[in-house]
Structure 1
């Protein structure tokens, strides 16, 4: 036999053995990659993909085999029907864990599919309390729930902004209406302010003149909006056109880098107060968060929106749970996930028995001169 042929004959089985020793692990990412919320949904996919690439670059071995992580990203269009279809597709394609969804209205129905399949899900964005109140052992999140967000924004509106008259608008989605309800409860609990109007729109609306004209008659100090930035931007423009001087207070769906573009000069300075359901404090943690944001910008040539760091940490948490359990089988690493202790880009991550983030942080922001400005971290 020729020398090269002999070498090839020896190396071929070795290569095959090496390939067989590597385990491919699929992790799903699902969020709106189309529609008005696509920029937020892509942010989730980008964050998860960064984590996948970092894990593969580092090299992870589980149960004696090198693991190669693969991300399968699906579009749920922020629509419950698309969301359940995407969830079933991920299950059918053999993912062992899911990072998603973004919207509460897609997260809740999809969570039943993952639970039935025994596949753990970590949402990097969904804040409805209902998500973790269903009793599913597979449901987790790395952000605070609406109950905490609503209370915090209500207290800030009354105690810091000194609002005495407050109007409330929501977009009738599970997220927007749920957050507005929690905010309303918070206002009543804090006391000292009057709820002068409750109005409704939808998540695709562009004309708010009728509801804003009704609200203007009550001369509110604060308008609370439950919904996403794609609606908040045009709403701010119409508030300005109608001469409404009230501050706009909202949750993390509005608190994005895209809001200045959507609102234009109607954004003003200190006009918008919003909260992200997470946050870090301290020089070391803030430096790590800033470094992540810069790395994201360098890679994708755009600023991160809101949820990429949470998607990144969710993916890393899954990987750590697998390593601790020494298994990529969801049934085996799920108990490790429930007990996880992980220090990530977004801070310390641990879950309570319901799957909610233990000792959750919230970060309040405003906008000045077209830039997002951090106000404070609240726990």
Structure 2
């Protein structure tokens, strides 16, 4: 339909021009002494239009002829760019397909051809990393940094990843520090540094980075809590030989990062250092805030401190936690240590009725040995040995 309208328009235009020329009686007089020429105005207009078209064609042809070398060069450059883009598309596709050997081969070809050599070297380094070939990766990283200094941050990130995978954590931390000097820290670099600092055992740095990532919503709260818990426990373990440092660390620890597992680790460290009274007070305060059966068990294993006050304190917990075998076991142990045979036996037998744990039977066996009831002691020793074999 659109073509038909154009045809009709052209015919109408032709008719209009024809009618205008028919009624045009003008003429053009050309004088060039001693010559004179007289032509119609219509013919003069036609000659002018024809001369314009011929001149345009000649000039256009000359322009195209003169620009031919430039156009050929641009054509070749365009073909080279298209080929380069195609090559990089192949490299990226092969990387995602997991065909790392072919990806590295393609990237090597692109680098040798001078097609964005820095980027080609970076892609080859990534392929070498996936193939676990650190020497090739390092060589490609050096080429990439040499070809284009702007790729230095990317090279350092790849180098740090390589060092972490090879468990060279100190070297990974060094690479990330150089990265920070160049471009600052970002989320991916912080996550990588978190792994490297964990490998180095720099638990104070682990805590700092984990808190920062959690603040930026870059770590799940559960994962952040587990990482911080492990860091705190390792820091407590490193301070087990110095009571003052251990207690100072506990005081400085944020309350929101506390947990029953961390409380047990701190209480065990206090007991190892012989600070039984401090361990007693800490466990009692912790249990008043949050009940934890394992911490109660640790409370009963503490052999130092004032046993009488500890037994009295545990008796206060008993009405609210009668069905907790660990509390009954702790009371039995403390009464046994105080040579309160009758109370110890009643608590231990109550714990055994709730949970036939091996440790309960061993405590009963010790009790019966202390009270010269060898047959009953042997019965519990055999039962404990049978439970141990079943557990294995």
Short-chain TM bin: under 0.3
TM-score, normalization: structure 1? 0.26
TM-score, normalization: structure 2? 0.26
Structure with greater contact order relative to length (CA < 8 Å, sep ≥ 6): 1
- Structure number with greater Rg is 2
Bigger share in helix: 2
Bigger share in strand: 1
